[in-house]
C-alpha cells in the first residue's frame, strides 16, 4: 500500500523525537539545499521523459524521503556508545544466522530491526523473487566482474549524495577496493539459491549493509562536519534508489522508448527481485514501482530534484581512487592481467553509460579513455555477450537448464572468494576532516 504523503511526513518528523541522538539537531521542516524545485538546476532536467510525467505527489514524496534515514536500523546503530560497533555486528550476525533467540540479552532494537526485515510484505511475490534470482545469475557471473567498478564510480558524480562516502575516509585505493568488492559481494550473494530467505546469506548481507549505512549516519552526524541545511540527512532513502534500481530503470526506459508498456514474465521477475532487495535494504514501497512507467517516473522525480553539483575534492577524489584501486585478492599473473583488462573496461563503461560519451568531462575528472580502452571494452563486451547468450539458450533446454544453473552458482561462489569477506562496517576513527560547507561552495 502506498503511504499517504501526510503519513510519510509524520514518519520523517518522528525521527527527531524517536532518535534524538541521531537527529535531535536537524530541522525537518527545512528543505535542504540538495533538493531543488527547479529541474534546470537538477541532475535530470526533463520531468516528462518519453511522455511519462512526474506528478506533484511524486515530488512531495521524494522531498519527504530525502529527509528519511532508516528508523529501525538507526535505532540499533544508536547503541554504539553502549555496545561498540563490533558487538552490534556480532549480535546482528547471530540473529540473522540463528534467530533473535540465539542472542543472549538481545536489545529490543535488534529484535525490531530483524523482525521488520523478516516481515515479508504482501506486495512482494517471493516466487517471482526466486525466479528473478535465477535469471540474474548469468549477468552476475559474467558481466558484473567487469562492470561493477564503473557502476560504483557513477555513485560519486554528485557531491550531495557522495559526501557520506567521503566522510568515511574512502578516498584511498585500499579502502576504495574494499568498498567495490563489498558491493560486488553483496549483489552476488543476494542471487544465490535461497539467499534471500530468512537466515539466508543475502538476507544477512542486506542487514549488514543497512547497519553500515546507519553507522555512517551516526558517525557523520556526530562528526561536526555534516551540514544538514545543505545535505539533509546522510544516505537518505532516495539515495539508495539508484544502486538498487538502475538496471530496472534502464530496462524500463528502453522499453518505453520502443513503445512497450508491460514487462515480460522474465522482466517482471527481475523487477520483483530488485524490489525485494530494496525492501530488505529499508526502502519503502512508495519508491518501488512495478510498472515501466512507474519506475521511470519515480527515478525521474528523484533525479530532477537532486541539485547538480560536483567538486573535485569530494567527487573527483572518490572517482580517481576507485578507478585506480587494485581489486584482485593477490598479485598472481592471472590477477594482474584481469586487473589491467577490467580497469580499461571500467573506464570505457563509465564513459559510455554514465557520462554519455563526454570525454571532456571525463578528462576534467582525471579519467583518460584512450583507443586501447575502447578496444578492450568492445572485445570484453563481445565475449561476455556470447557467454551470456550461451547460458540463456541452455536455460530453454530442459536437459541443460539445471546443469547450466549449477555451473553459474559454482562460478559465483568462486567470484565471492575473489571478492573476499565483506565486513560492511565503518569506523568513526577513519573519518576524514572534510569540511561540509566548503564542499558545498
Q: What are phi and psi of 192, to 5 degrees?
A: -70, 155
Please list the alpha-helical segments (H only) found in 107-222. 108-118, 126-142, 144-153, 159-167, 173-189, 201-222
pLDDT > 90 fraction of the chain, expressed in percent and rounded: 78
Q: Tell me the C-alpha to C-alpha distance, in Å, between residue 80 and each of 214, 237, 291, 428.
A: 11, 22, 40, 11
Domain boundaries, the chain: 43-71+122-440
Task: Label residue 261 by pLDDT band (50, 70, 90).
Answer: very high
Residues 6+ apart with CB under 8 A from 344: 372, 373, 376, 377
Q: What cell does 33 get?
A: 539545499
Which residues face 42 on adjacent strands? 307
Q: What is the DSSP letter of 315?
A: I
Total residues found in the chain within this entry = 441
Q: What are phi and psi of 307, to 5 degrees?
A: -60, 135
How far is residue 376's CA from residue 230's CA, in Å, rounded to a whole number?
41
pTM recorded for the entire structure: 0.90
- For residues 164-168, give the mean pLDDT: 75
SS3 408: helix
Residue 134 half-sphere exposure toward CB, CA atoms < 13 A: 18
How far is residue 241's CA from residue 236's CA, in Å, rounded to a whole number?
10
Q: What does the pLDDT read at residue 3?
A: 87
* 280-336 pLDDT tens trace: 999 999 999 999 999 999 999 999 999 999 988 888 888 988 988 999 999 999 999
**What are the b/e assignments for 391-420, b being 16+ CB within 10 Å?**
beebbeeeeeeeebbeebbebbeebbebbb
- For residues 423-440, give the mean pLDDT: 43
pLDDT over 70 at 439, yes or no: no
How far is residue 366's CA from residue 361's CA, in Å, rounded to a whole number?
9
SS3 81: helix
Q: What does the pLDDT read at residue 432?
A: 44
Q: Are 148 and 282 in contact (CB under 8 A)?
A: no
Nearest one of 399, 440, 1 to 232, comparing CA atoms: 440
* 395-412 pLDDT tens trace: 999 999 999 999 999 999
Q: What average pLDDT does the structure give for the chain?
A: 91
For the chain, the first-to-last Cα distance in angstroms comes to: 40
Helix and strand numbers, DSSP H then E, in the chain: 22, 0
pLDDT over 60 at 433, yes or no: no
Q: What does the pLDDT read at residue 440?
A: 34
Q: Are 318 and 162 in contact (CB under 8 A)?
A: yes
pLDDT over 80 at 83, yes or no: yes
* 338-374 pLDDT tens trace: 999 999 999 999 999 889 899 999 999 889 999 999 9
Residue 280 half-sphere exposure toward CB, CA atoms < 13 A: 28
* 13-26 pLDDT tens trace: 999 999 998 999 99
* 371-386 pLDDT tens trace: 999 999 999 999 999 9
Q: 66-80, 180-194, 197-211, 414-428: which has the minimum mean pLDDT? A: 414-428
Amino acid at each position: 500500500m502506498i503511504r499517504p504523503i501526510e503519513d510519510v511526513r509524520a514518519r520523517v518528523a518522528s525521527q527527531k523525537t524517536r532518535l534524538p541522538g541521531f537527529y535531535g539537531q536537524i530541522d525537518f521542516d527545512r528543505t535542504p539545499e540538495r533538493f531543488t524545485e527547479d529541474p534546470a538546476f537538477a541532475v535530470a532536467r526533463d520531468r516528462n521523459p518519453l511522455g511519462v510525467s512526474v506528478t506533484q505527489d511524486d515530488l512531495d514524496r521524494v522531498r519527504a524521503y530525502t529527509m528519511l534515514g532508516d528508523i529501525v536500523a538507526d535505532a540499533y546503530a544508536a547503541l554504539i556508545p553502549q555496545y561498540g560497533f563490533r558487538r552490534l555486528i556480532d549480535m546482528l550476525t547471530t540473529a540473522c544466522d540463528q534467530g533473535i533467540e540465539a542472542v543472549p540479552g538481545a536489545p529490543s532494537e535488534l529484535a525490531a530491526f530483524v523482525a521488520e526485515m523478516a516481515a515479508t510484505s504482501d506486495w512482494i511475490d517471493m516466487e517471482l523473487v526466486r525466479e528473478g534470482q535465477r535469471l540474474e545469475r548469468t549477468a552476475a557471473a559474467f558481466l558484473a566482474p567487469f562492470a561493477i567498478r564503473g557502476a560504483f564510480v557513477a555513485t560519486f558524480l554528485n557531491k550531495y549524495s557522495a559526501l557520506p562516502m567521503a566522510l568515511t575516509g574512502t578516498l584511498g585505493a585500499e579502502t576504495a577496493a574494499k568498498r567495490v568488492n563489498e558491493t560486488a559481494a553483496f549483489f552476488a550473494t543476494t542471487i544465490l539459491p535461497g539467499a534471500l530467505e530468512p537466515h539466508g546469506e543475502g538476507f544477512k548481507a542486506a542487514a549488514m549493509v543497512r547497519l553500515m549505512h546507519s553507522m555512517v549516519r551516526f558517525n557523520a552526524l556526530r562528526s561536526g562536519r555534516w551540514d544538514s541545511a545543505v545535505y539533509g540527512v546522510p544516505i537518505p532513502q532516495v539515495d539508495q534508489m539508484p544502486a538498487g534500481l538502475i538496471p530496472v530503470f534502464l530496462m524500463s526506459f528502453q522499453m518505453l522508448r520502443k513503445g512497450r508498456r508491460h514487462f515480460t514474465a522474465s522482466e517482471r521477475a527481475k523487477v520483483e527481485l530488485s524490489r525485494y532487495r530494496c525492501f530488505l535494504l529499508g526502502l519503502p514501497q512508495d519508491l518501488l514501482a512495478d510498472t515501466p512507467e512507474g519506475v521511470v517516473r519515480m527515478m525521474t522525480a528523484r533525479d530532477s530534484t537532486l541539485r547538480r553539483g560536483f567538486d573535485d575534492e569530494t567527487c573527483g577524489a572518490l572517482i580517481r581512487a576507485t578507478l585506480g584501486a587494485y581489486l584482485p585478492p593477490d598479485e598472481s599473473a592471472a590477477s594482474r592481467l584481469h586487473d589491467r583488462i577490467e580497469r580499461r573496461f571500467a573506464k570505457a563503461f563509465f564513459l559510455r553509460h554514465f557520462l554519455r560519451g563526454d570525454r571532456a568531462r571525463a578528462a576534467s575528472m582525471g579519467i583518460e579513455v584512450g583507443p586501447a580502452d575502447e578496444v578492450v571494452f568492445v572485445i570484453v563486451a563481445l565475449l561476455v555477450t556470447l557467454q551470456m547468450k550461451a547460458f540463456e539458450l541452455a536455460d530453454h533446454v530442459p536437459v541443460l537448464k539445471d546443469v547450466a544453473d549449477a555451473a553459474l552458482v559454482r562460478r559465483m561462489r568462486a567470484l565471492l572468494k575473489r571478492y573476499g569477506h565483506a565486513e560492511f562496517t565503518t569506523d568513526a576513527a577513519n573519518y576524514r576532516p572534510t569540511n561540509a560547507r566548503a564542499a558545498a561552495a
